[in-house]
């Protein structure tokens, strides 16, 4: 059985920690946004689509972009 190299595990753990911190910050910003903007279903879909394509244009992996967009959509 092949094990993941120690430096790869460290990089993965650092990425996970950084991602969790970023998601917490994004959740706070999303709460502030929701408090000041009232979005109907069309505007929510338009925002989610713009978010998704922004991630894809930034060369984010498709599966990860879809996961982040779903996270955003569920919290709108």
Q: Look at residue 5 in the predicted model and tell me its pLDDT.
A: 56
* Alpha helices for 1-76 (secondary structure H): 6-36, 41-57, 62-75
Supply the mean pLDDT for the chain: 86
Predicted confidence at residue 58, as pLDDT, reads 92
CA distances from 30 to 6, 14, 24, 53, 74 (A): 36, 24, 10, 18, 11
Residue 7 scores a pLDDT above 70: no
Q: CA-based angle 28:33:34, to the nearest 5?
A: 100
Mean pLDDT of 3-8: 59
Q: Is residue 35 scored above 50 in pLDDT? A: yes
Global pTM value: 0.71
If pLDDT is split at 50, 70 and 90, which confidence band does 32 have?
A: very high
């Amino acid at each position: 059985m092949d094990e993941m190299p120690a430096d790869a595990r460290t990089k993965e753990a650092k990425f996970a920690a950084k991602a969790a911190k970023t998601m917490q910050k994004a959740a706070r910003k999303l709460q502030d946004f929701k408090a000041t903007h009232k979005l109907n279903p069309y505007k929510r879909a338009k925002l989610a689509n713009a978010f998704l394509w922004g991630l894809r244009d930034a060369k984010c992996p498709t599966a990860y972009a879809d996961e982040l967009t779903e996270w955003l959509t569920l919290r709108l």
